[in-house]
Amino acid sequence: MELHVANHPLVSHKLSVLRDRDTPSPVFRALTSELVTLLAYEATRQIRVEDHDIVTPVQKTVGKKLAKPRPVVVPILRAGLGMLEGMVALLPSAEVGFLGMVRDEETLKPSVYAERLPENLADRQCFVLDPMLATGGSLLQAIKFLANKGASDITAVCLLGAPEGVKAVEEGTKGLTVTIVLGAMDDKLNERGFIVPGLGDAGDRLYGTVG
Ligand code: PRP
């Protein structure tokens, strides 16, 4: 597994505003989109391209275009949906699949409650979007889900990660081609499985609480 933690003052600045508990949902959503576009630049560094003949106003040359099959972007509902727009801004031709997962607040175990993905992901590069990598349980299950459908390499884009979760994903994905791109690596998890210092519950901050 490869890990990239953004090291950029704009990412740190925008993340600090997200962390602030007084930042309202509309600002939180707008900043999430901006951050994802910045992280997507790093996340797509290995995206497959192929040669493509073009003619400039001056002469013929060989350019690049995204290779087929198209990459697949997979936001993990619900909070990952807040990252979709920022990602497809950079990858407008990507296909989008959805995975709905929720973490039990007591056991912290994730479960899948919705799935809408291409049946066959063979040779597809997949980009999983989830703002929080806490225990890593959700991301690990999502990666295995995609790998079982044939995904050849999987990149996760997360705003914040905890060292415990990154380690769990690394140990659980041996033998798979996995990359994690983080906006920041935080200190640890607290006893409720929240990232510390973190930003709270990303789903609630984006969309409000659900009963
Ligand atoms: C949160 C978050 C991740 C997951 C991270 O989702 O968005 O999906 O928990 O935790 P983990 O690394 O310990 O698995 P949540 O279950 O709160 O659902 P939501 O997105 O609908 O708010």
Compute the CA torsion angle 40, 41, 47, 53 (nearest 10 deg). 130
The residue whose CA has the least distance to atom 22 of ligand 1 is 203
The residue whose CA has the least distance to atom 10 of ligand 1 is 134
Decide whether any atom of ligand 1 lies within 6 Å of the 184 Cβ.
no
Distance, CA of 157 to chain centre: 3
Of 19, 70, 177, 204, which residue is the catalytic one?
A: 204
Distance 33 CA to ligand 1 centre (A): 18
Decide whether any atom of ligand 1 lies within 6 Å of the 201 Cβ.
yes
Distance 140 CA to ligand 1 centre (A): 12
Distance 51 CA to ligand 1 centre (A): 39
Going along the chain from its start, the domains and CATH numbers come out as 2-207 (3.40.50.2020)
Q: What is the pLDDT of residues 102-157, one digit of tens each?
A: 999 899 999 999 999 998 999 899 999 999 999 999 999 999 999 999 998 999 99
Answer yes or no: 103 catalytic: yes
pLDDT above 70 coverage of the chain, percent: 99
pLDDT band at 211 (very low <50, low <70, confident <90, very high): low
The one-letter amino acid code at 92 reads P
pLDDT higher than 90, residue 210: no
- Look-up: residue for tokens 């309202």? 24
Of 32, 44, 103, 153, which residue is the catalytic one?
A: 103
Distance 187 CA to ligand 1 centre (A): 18
Bridge partners (DSSP) listed for residue 102: 111
Per-residue pLDDT at 208 = 85
Of 61, 107, 116, 192, which residue is the catalytic one?
A: 107
Report, as an integer, the average pLDDT of 75-80. 97
Tokens (6 digits) for 74 = 């997979």
Report helix, strand or coil for 123: coil
Q: What is the pLDDT of residues 38-75, one digit of tens each?
A: 999 999 999 999 999 999 999 999 999 999 999 999 99
Whether the CB-CB separation of 33 and 85 falls below 8 Å is answered with yes
- Where does the chain have alpha helices with state H? 9-19, 25-43, 84-90, 137-148, 163-172, 202-207
Number of C-beta neighbours around residue 20 at 10 A: 11
